[in-house]
Amino acid sequence: MTHHDPDHTILLNNINIITGENMRKLISLLSAVVISFVSFTGIALSADSKKPIVIPTHNWSSQVVMAYVIGGIFEDMGNNVKYVPADSQAVYESIRIGDVTISHEVWESAFGKSFTTALDKGGILDWGDHEARTLEDMGYPNWVAELCPGLPDWNALKNPDCAKNFVTPDSGGKGRMLEGPQTWHGDLIPQRIEALGLGDLWVVKFAGSADALWAELAAAKKEDRGTIIFNWTPNFTDGAGFTFIDFPPYTAGCRPVDGGDGKCGSPDGYLKKAVNADFPKTHPSAAAIFKKMSFSTSQIGAMAALVDVDKMTHEDAAKKWLADNGY
């Protein structure tokens, strides 16, 4: 039985720069990547500009691998692509003014404020959500739980007998929590620890990179000691025995930067995409495809695992991910 999908027909009829084998591969990949082919009615697709699509790369693995995945698709469509290292907070201003074209991992907790600030100024568009939902917070490998009875309830951190199991040479006799790079959240976690009355027992230190967080996990396991680190999902640690601490629930306005008292955890957040406002005009075909891209938690975790577990380069990981998903 042949099923005639009108939305696939719209795609095939309008994206005229993709033909033959590339179209077959694209349709196969888009099906695997949870791209919902809602109607393209109203989007006038035509040949894209030869102007490069500038894709930012940041300092965590899934984002960089996904950059090369998306860029590879754009290149197969006949587009020119340029990858540029970019600050994960300032990138939205760069998109707004046209120095960068897209962002494919806008994490609500870490970058939502920078993103909405840029949106309010104009020149940048919200280009939809991924299927994946996000959580970005402090947590621990499950084998650590016995060192702090009562976890994952944050109240367990009030116990001095818990904190002493997380002391490190650089923590001044307090239990240490290892945050991500300070450019991600500023002083959000130190402010929370103070607001919750944990400052006498705990200190927050900042890792220089995501790799430093994973090195800490490995070192703690090897040395059989406690560790609490910043982590996020989707990530390669999903399903690998990692638990987030249950801090008081997040509510709008609870953070100090928004005038709140800081006594709250992180939100169950979105994972969005963003584009420069001219992108749909200069690259209508690429913009339409990008808007339909919606990666799942497991797909994003798999991208990170290829680098952080399998030790592939970001570029090779992207090629393997595309091949594994039928492209």
Indicate if 54 and 173 belong to the same structural domain: no
Indicate if 128 and 147 belong to the same structural domain: no
Residue 23 lies in a domain: yes
Measured between alpha carbons, how far is 92 from 275 in angstroms, rounded to an integer?
A: 9
Q: How many domains does the chain have?
A: 2
The confidence score (pLDDT) of residue 239 equals 81
Measured between alpha carbons, how far is 56 from 59 in angstroms, rounded to an integer?
A: 10
The confidence score (pLDDT) of residue 62 equals 97
Indicate if 318 and 244 belong to the same structural domain: no
The confidence score (pLDDT) of residue 7 equals 33
Residue 70 lies in a domain: yes
Top-confidence residue, 31 or 33: 33
- Angle at alpha carbon of residue 190, lines to 238 and 178, rounded to 5°: 45
The answer to whether residues 247 and 139 touch, using CB atoms and an 8 Å cutoff, is no
1-10, 63-72, 197-206: lowest mean pLDDT where? Answer: 1-10
The confidence score (pLDDT) of residue 33 equals 60
Indicate if 158 and 178 belong to the same structural domain: yes
In the three-class reduction of DSSP (H, G, I as helix; E, B as strand; rest coil), residue 44 is classed as: coil
Indicate if 22 and 82 belong to the same structural domain: yes
Domain boundary among 258, 281, 315: 258
Indicate if 126 and 160 belong to the same structural domain: no
The confidence score (pLDDT) of residue 30 equals 56
The confidence score (pLDDT) of residue 28 equals 53
The confidence score (pLDDT) of residue 46 equals 54
- Please, which pLDDT band fits residue 40 given cuts at 50, 70 and 90? very low
Indicate if 156 and 252 belong to the same structural domain: yes
Q: In this predicted model, what pLDDT tens digit does every residue of 151-190 receive, in sequence order? A: 999 999 999 999 999 999 999 999 999 999 999 999 999 9
Which residues, in sequence order, are CB contacts of 244 under 8 Å at separation 6+?
135, 137, 138, 139, 152, 231, 233
The confidence score (pLDDT) of residue 192 equals 98
Average pLDDT score over residue span 22-48: 50
Q: In this predicted model, what pLDDT tens digit does every residue of 239-249 receive, in sequence order? A: 889 999 999 99
Indicate if 76 and 172 belong to the same structural domain: no
Tell me if the bond preceding 234 is cis, omega within 30° of 0: yes
Residue 264 lies in a domain: no
Measured between alpha carbons, how far is 3 from 9 in angstroms, rounded to an integer?
A: 11
Measured between alpha carbons, how far is 2 from 118 in angstroms, rounded to an integer?
A: 46
Domain boundary among 208, 226, 258: 258
Measured between alpha carbons, how far is 256 from 89 in angstroms, rounded to an integer?
A: 18
Q: In this predicted model, what pLDDT tens digit does every residue of 131-142 receive, in sequence order? A: 999 999 999 999
12-26, 44-58, 143-157, 236-250: lowest mean pLDDT where? Answer: 12-26
Indicate if 176 and 290 belong to the same structural domain: no
The two three-digit tokens of residue 33, written as one number: 């990547």
Average pLDDT score over residue span 308-313: 96
Average pLDDT score over residue span 214-236: 95
pTM equals: 0.85
Residue 1 lies in a domain: no
**CATH number for the domain that contains residue 311:** 3.40.190.10
Q: Is the pLDDT of residue 37 over 60?
A: no
Residue 180 lies in a domain: yes
The whole domain housing 102 covers: 6-133+272-324
pLDDT-above-90 percentage for the chain: 84
Residue 60 lies in a domain: yes
Domain boundary among 203, 225, 258: 258
Indicate if 195 and 223 belong to the same structural domain: yes
Indicate if 117 and 179 belong to the same structural domain: no
Give the full edge-to-edge strand order of the sheet including 102-107: 102-107, 271-276, 124-129
Environment class of residue 115 by beta-carbon count within 10 Å: exposed (0-12), middle (13-18) or buried (19+)?
Answer: buried
Indicate if 185 and 71 belong to the same structural domain: no
Residue 320 lies in a domain: yes
Q: In this predicted model, what pLDDT tens digit does every residue of 76-125 receive, in sequence order? A: 999 999 999 999 999 999 999 999 999 999 999 999 999 999 999 999 99
Measured between alpha carbons, how far is 29 from 186 in angstroms, rounded to an integer?
A: 37
Residue 158 lies in a domain: yes
Chain CA centroid to CA 4, Å: 35
**CATH number for the domain that contains residue 235:** 3.40.190.100
The confidence score (pLDDT) of residue 80 equals 96
- Please, which pLDDT band fits residue 326 given cuts at 50, 70 and 90? confident
